[in-house]
């Protein structure tokens, strides 16, 4: 990818904060796919269950995962952090004196926590918004105790491939976010000081009556096009028509398909600071990790 193309796909953290903040009041009603991924990631917490005295839910959204983690680890300190003030306000409403959650506004690129503060960092579908990713992962490694666990999910490059292909047939603009390849994510984890990251992927599909319904759903959760190279004005009628025609060619009996590739990560903070050299990541089914945990 050229330098200009790279710049087109940069993501502005302030834009992310504004977009998700605006969606905070109706996010839960629209985010059924995100809730499905969250449930899967929480099941992995259960499989790897060990004593967790301090937990960070990074990119907490409205705080649903924070509450679930507090239920699982009642004596643990659970901190919910998000870059969007609106999401932080919604998450704060979920904290109660009988099951308190600490809620704070935080950018993943500059976390306001001391080194080695947490035993577990849980982050559901946040990493794809981190730019630069290496900075965010280095911050997560910094706040994890040596041997602490990162459990994360992120969208992979096959996400919204149908919508991306339809727009590519319409014009040369940037209309769909770019998502990191799983192997690149694994390498970035090792660069940040994580050891033997385990990654696996799943594919989820939804169907829509029309492309506009898909895009309304993305806007409803704040996950619309946030790339620097996106068009600032209205899309022309001709380009819109070409996109619609291209997407319609993919129609199935259930409607227009949309794919989400979900990458899952389990990685442990190394005992020592990151080295310049790094080994490869491990890509295995999570069932292998479950069997190891049981043993």
Q: For 208, list phi and psi in degrees, rounded to 5.
A: -135, 150
DSSP E strand stretches across the chain: 54-58, 77-82, 102-105, 118-124, 144-155, 194-208, 256-269, 282-283
113-150 confidence digits (pLDDT tens): 999 999 999 999 999 999 999 999 999 999 999 999 99
pLDDT of residue 227: 52
80-101 confidence digits (pLDDT tens): 999 999 999 999 999 998 889 9
103-115 confidence digits (pLDDT tens): 999 999 999 999 9
pLDDT of residue 134: 97
Instruction: Yes or no: say if 108 and 126 are a contact pair by the CB < 8 Å rule.
Output: yes
CA angle 195, 198, 202 (to 5 degrees): 155
**For residue 99, what are its two tokens?**
């099951």
Report the predicted TM-score, pTM, of the whole model to 2 decimal places. Answer: 0.86
290/293 Cα distance (integer angstroms): 5
239/232 Cα distance (integer angstroms): 15
**For residue 154, what are its two tokens?**
């992120």
Assigned CATH class of 3-157+178-206+262-294 = alpha beta
pLDDT of residue 6: 53
**For residue 182, what are its two tokens?**
């799983």
pLDDT of residue 98: 86
Least confident window among 54-63, 99-108, 155-164, 174-183: 174-183
Q: State the average pLDDT over residues 50-63.
A: 92
């Amino acid at each position: 990818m050229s330098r200009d193309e790279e710049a087109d796909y940069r993501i502005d953290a302030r834009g992310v904060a504004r977009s998700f903040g605006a969606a905070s009041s109706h996010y839960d009603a629209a985010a059924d796919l995100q809730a499905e991924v969250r449930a899967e990631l929480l099941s992995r917490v259960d499989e790897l269950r060990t004593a967790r005295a301090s937990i960070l839910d990074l990119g907490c959204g409205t705080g649903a995962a924070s509450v679930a983690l507090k239920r699982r680890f009642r004596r643990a300190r659970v901190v919910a952090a998000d870059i969007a003030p609106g999401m932080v306000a919604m998450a704060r409403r979920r904290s109660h004196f009988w099951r308190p959650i600490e809620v704070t506004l935080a950018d993943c690129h500059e976390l306001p926590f001391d080194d080695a503060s947490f035993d577990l960092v849980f982050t559901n579908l946040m990493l794809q918004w981190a730019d630069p990713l290496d900075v965010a992962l280095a911050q997560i490694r910094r706040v994890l105790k040596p041997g602490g666990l990162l459990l994360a999910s992120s969208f992979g490059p096959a996400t919204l491939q149908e919508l991306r292909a339809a727009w590519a047939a319409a014009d040369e603009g940037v209309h769909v976010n770019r998502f990191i390849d799983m192997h690149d994510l694994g390498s970035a984890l090792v660069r940040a000081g994580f050891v033997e990251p385990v990654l696996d992927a799943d594919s989820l599909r939804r169907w829509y009556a029309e492309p506009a319904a898909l895009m309304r759903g993305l806007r409803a959760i704040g996950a619309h096009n946030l790339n620097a190279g996106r068009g600032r004005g209205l899309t022309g009628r001709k380009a819109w028509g070409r996109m619609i025609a291209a997407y319609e060619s993919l129609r199935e009996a259930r409607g227009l398909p949309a794919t989400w590739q979900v990458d899952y990560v389990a990685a442990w903070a190394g005992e020592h600071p990151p080295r310049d050299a790094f080994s490869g990541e491990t890509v295995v089914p999570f069932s292998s990790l479950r069997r190891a945990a049981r043993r």
